[in-house]
Amino acid sequence: MTYPLNGIAPLSHLGVIRVEGEDAAKFLHGQLTQDFALLGMDQARLAAFLSAKGRMQASFIGFKRSATDVLLICSRDLLPPTLKRLSMFVLRAKAKLTDATNDFALYGLAGNAVPSGSQTAWSKADTGNASVVHLYPADGQPRALWVAPAADPAPAGPALDEALWRWSEVKSGVATLTTPVVEAFVPQMLNYESVGGVNFKKGCYPGQEVVARSQFRGTLKRRAYIAHVAADVAVGAEVFSTQDLEQPCGTVVQVAPAPGGGFDTIVSLQISAAQEGSLQVGAADGVALSLQPLPYPLLEDI
């Protein structure tokens, strides 16, 4: 039995930070893990905003609407504190940051609803006033993010339940940070270096030294994995190996109901625990966790 990811879903869980001004891209380049200085109009960026200790405070999909207008799409629950933190760094830069969530409509496109043409992840195409950002596929289906002014008509196509879209986010293996797991991970613990979320050649940004050290000194001990559980689990819940119920070996990052029953989740795990298997969420009365194949290769495997 198949559960086609096909159609168009409104994305109420995401918000928009708008960065306007002649230094907009330059400012973001100095704050985030990805290159915004060389960001073309036909590209988007997956990026993280880190603490000085290299821990993720927010994740974004960012792209330009014009040379002086950049939009950052993030989890709506993280938007207010992230906007406040990022704004503290503007100083003399000619850039103004605002919450533009109400100014734009966001839709997820899946399957046949995704425009034909290049479907390379993080490529962008503009259609009228709308920007279409191609994402990583899920369950073998192409996916894209549609962002347009709120007053514009919605994209045409069959309706897709937003819950199915959220499941597609999990199945893509590309995690979106939310409040329960703020400052829990360096980017590599969510595989961000393998899905286009980190540029190791760009200049300084907060937390850069920690990220570089994790990558080049072989100190990385955690990775993101996709897993299935029979019962609902909470984002931020601890994962344990059944061999050691005293010490957690991972964290639940993102969860969505699976169309075939149960729940699929992205978990960040110690690599050694993932290789040993026999995992559960929670120590007492734990829910068994079964790992599934990642849909993309990790950077060290490429």
Tokens of 264: 């699929």
pLDDT higher than threshold 50 for residue 302: no
CA distance 24 to 2: 44
Q: What is the pTM of this model?
A: 0.95
Q: Please tell me the distance from the alpha carbon of residue 143 to that of residue 126, in angstroms, as a whole number.
A: 16
Q: What are phi and psi of 176, to 5 degrees?
A: -105, 125
Radius of gyration of the chain (CA): 19
Mean pLDDT of the residues in the chain: 93
Amino acid code (one letter) for 127: T
Tens of pLDDT, residues 277-298: 899 999 988 999 999 999 999 9
CA distances to 97, 214, 218, 280, 301 from 273, in Å: 42, 19, 17, 11, 19
Copy the structure tokens of residue 29: 């380049």
For 166, other C-beta atoms within 10 Å of its C-beta total 20
Cα–Cα distance between 222 and 216 in angstroms, integer? 15
> Which has more pLDDT, 70 or 219?
70
What distance in Å separates the CA atoms of residue 284 and residue 27, rounded to the nearest whole number? 47
Which candidate, 64, 137, 159, 149, places its Cα nearest to that of 295? 137
Other Cβ atoms closer than 10 A to 79 = 20
State the DSSP string of 92-159.
TSS-EEEE-GGGEEEEEEEGGGS-SS---TTBEEEETTEEEEE---BTTB-EEEEEEETTSPPPPS-B
> Tens digits of per-residue pLDDT, 170-203?
999 999 999 999 999 999 999 999 999 999 888 7
Q: Which two tokens stand for residue 11?
A: 């994305």
